[in-house]
């Protein structure tokens, strides 16, 4: 059964791979983007997608800034206006930072952005979509967390702290929505072959997890019944201690 899915961070990387896969699977998509024009002429251009068998659009692009709470409300409202409902949210937008524990003066703003985008962004958007997820009875929230939300292996204090907080938020979302049929899944990859990992030289890019594989996992999560949805998927391309 086709779902109506909000996807943040779909302009590139994992989010874009998820959007392309879910569109191919027949779902209706609403993509929140800082600049919707970035997808013009791409496989995710509404002009190229057209309409479904009922003459209804299958794809909506809408301006969205994860740091702006009002943007979440506006995006949800526009999606409901276009599609009539929302039953799934995929949180893929995020920022990376190498801010260490002993950060330099002036890096406070970078730490705040990590919190605003990686934690409050998913929080605001989930809150805005919640009534629609609950009304469906089998709502889905899928969050790209990262293995950095499960353990700390290096010195990325700011990024790791934001991802640990996001994992805690996911657990609370799961508790809050269980009786309403909302199922939450936290996908926790290690290195994925995206722009974020471009500077990583510890392993070849082909040995990393690939965006399309994360997209396949996301597609499978949307197909599972309420009784069989895993909360956490740890996806490691390297051996974890």
User: Residue 228 belongs to what H/E stretch?
Assistant: none
Question: Is 64 an annotated catalytic residue?
Answer: no
d(CA 124, CA 8) in angstroms, rounded, equals 12
Residue among 130, 159, 164, 191 flagged as catalytic: 159
Beta bridge partners of 85: none
**Which tokens in the block code for residue 128?**
């805005």
At 225 the three-state DSSP class reads: coil
8: CB partners within 8 A, 6+ apart: 15, 31, 32, 64, 66, 90, 91, 92, 93, 121, 122, 125
DSSP labels, 62-92: EE--TT-HHHHHHHHHHHHHHHS---EEEE-
Adjacency order of strands within the sheet including 4-8: 59-63, 28-33, 4-8, 88-91, 140-144, 183-189, 232-235
Q: How far is Cα 74 from Cα 72, in angstroms, rounded to an integer?
A: 5
Query: Angle between the 13-24 and 211-223 helix axes, to the nearest 10 degrees?
Result: 50
Annotated catalytic residues are 159
């Amino acid at each position: 059964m086709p779902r109506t899915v909000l996807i943040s961070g779909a302009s590139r990387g994992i989010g874009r791979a998820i959007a392309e896969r879910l569109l191919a699977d027949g779902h209706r998509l609403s993509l929140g983007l800082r600049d919707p024009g970035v997808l013009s002429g791409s496989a995710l251009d509404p002009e190229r997608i057209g309409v479904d068998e009922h003459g209804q659009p299958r794809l909506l692009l809408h301006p969205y800034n994860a740091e702006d709470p009002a943007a979440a409300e506006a995006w949800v409202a526009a999606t409901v206006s276009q599609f009539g409902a929302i039953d799934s949210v995929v949180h893929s937008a995020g920022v990376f930072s190498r801010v260490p524990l002993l950060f330099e003066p002036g890096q406070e703003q970078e730490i705040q952005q990590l919190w605003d985008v990686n934690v409050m962004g998913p929080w605001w958007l989930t809150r805005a979509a919640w009534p629609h997820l609950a009304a469906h009875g089998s709502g889905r929230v899928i969050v790209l967390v990262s293995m950095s939300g499960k353990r700390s292996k290096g010195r990325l204090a700011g990024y790791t702290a934001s991802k640990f907080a996001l994992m805690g938020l996911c657990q609370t979302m799961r508790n809050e929505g269980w009786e309403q049929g909302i199922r939450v899944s936290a996908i926790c990859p290690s290195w994925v072959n995206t722009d974020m990992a471009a500077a990583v030289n510890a392993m070849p890019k082909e040995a990393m997890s690939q965006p399309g594989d994360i997209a396949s996992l996301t597609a499978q999560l949307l197909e599972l019944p309420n009784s069989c949805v895993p909360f956490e998927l740890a996806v490691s391309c390297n051996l974890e201690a």
